[in-house]
A = this chain, B = another copy of it.
Amino acid sequence: MTISEENYIKVIYHLSLVSPKGVNTNAIAGMLETKASSVTDMLKKLSEKDLVSYQKYQGVSLTENGLLSAKMIVRKHRLWEVFLVEKLAFNWDEVHEIAEELEHIKSEALINKLDAFLGFPAFDPHGDPIPNEKGVIQKVNKLLLSEAELNREYFCIGVKDSSSEFLKYLDKQKIALGSTFKVIEKESFDDTLTVEVNSQEKIISNKIANNLYVQ
């Protein structure tokens, strides 16, 4: 697989988690910042290679082959992110772009040795699960902070949006994986939350609450 093919497969994978019955051409184009016509061309090629099943106008989904390939790319991406944060002391908002390149390095031995070196981590710095050598992904119960019950204790276990802007905002607010949350009040007008974060009271907008996973 070329780097370009791998990027397509990975995007189709991520999109199919949200729309399992078929991924749209435009959605793929949006994620890859390319044009719909380019996507159509690529879908034909990926279909040729039995990585996706594709019928024109009907959307696309991954084949078994494609699914496993996608998981391996995601595995590499997330392991490299762990390496960058844990070993090289990058901040969690700086690693995505670099991992976007590292995920395409070809060696199987490399990724399995990296996995061992890191101590077989189960989650990446953003709380996303890391597929194992066989592509198995540990399922985790989680909900959005916006769905949390009032006056119950939760832990932050992940972010939905892992853009640099959002992560920097969380840094500023001293919110990190492991932070404790207790929702004190929910404003019914705009769903703004009053939350105790690590025992400190904060006002949290609905947009933020919709991008934090808790447990």
Does A49 sit within 8 A of B, measured CB to CB? no
Q: Which of A61-106 contact B (CB under 8 A)?
A: 84, 87-90, 94, 97-98, 101-102, 105-106
Distance, CA A214 to CA B105, complexed state (A): 34
- Give chain B nearest CB distance to A52 CB in angstroms: 25
B-chain residues with CB within 8 Å of residue A114 when the two chains form the complex: 88
Copy number in the complex reads 2
Does A109 sit within 8 A of B, measured CB to CB? yes
Contact between chains at A88 and B101 (CB < 8 Å) = no
Distance, CA A89 to CA B116, complexed state (A): 10
Does A113 sit within 8 A of B, measured CB to CB? yes
Contact between chains at A110 and B98 (CB < 8 Å) = yes
Contact between chains at A113 and B98 (CB < 8 Å) = no
Does A57 sit within 8 A of B, measured CB to CB? no
Proximity string of chain A (4-34) to chain B, C-beta cutoff 8 Å, 1 when within and 0 when not: 0000000000000000000000000000000
Cβ 8 A contact of A102, one of B84, B88, B105, B109 = B105
**Which residue of chain B has its CB nearest to the CB of A114?**
B88
Contact between chains at A88 and B105 (CB < 8 Å) = no
Contact between chains at B113 and A105 (CB < 8 Å) = no
- Give chain B nearest CB distance to A128 CB in angstroms: 21
Contact between chains at A109 and B89 (CB < 8 Å) = no
Does A107 sit within 8 A of B, measured CB to CB? yes
**Which residue of chain B has its CB nearest to the CB of A87?**
B117
Contact between chains at A101 and B106 (CB < 8 Å) = yes
Q: List 6 A-B contacts (CB under 8 A).
A: A87-B117, A88-B110, A89-B113, A90-B109, A98-B110, A102-B105
Q: Give the 10 A-B residue pairs with the shortest CB-CB distance, closest first.
A: A88-B113, A101-B105, A98-B107, A98-B110, A88-B117, A87-B117, A102-B105, A101-B106, A88-B114, A89-B113
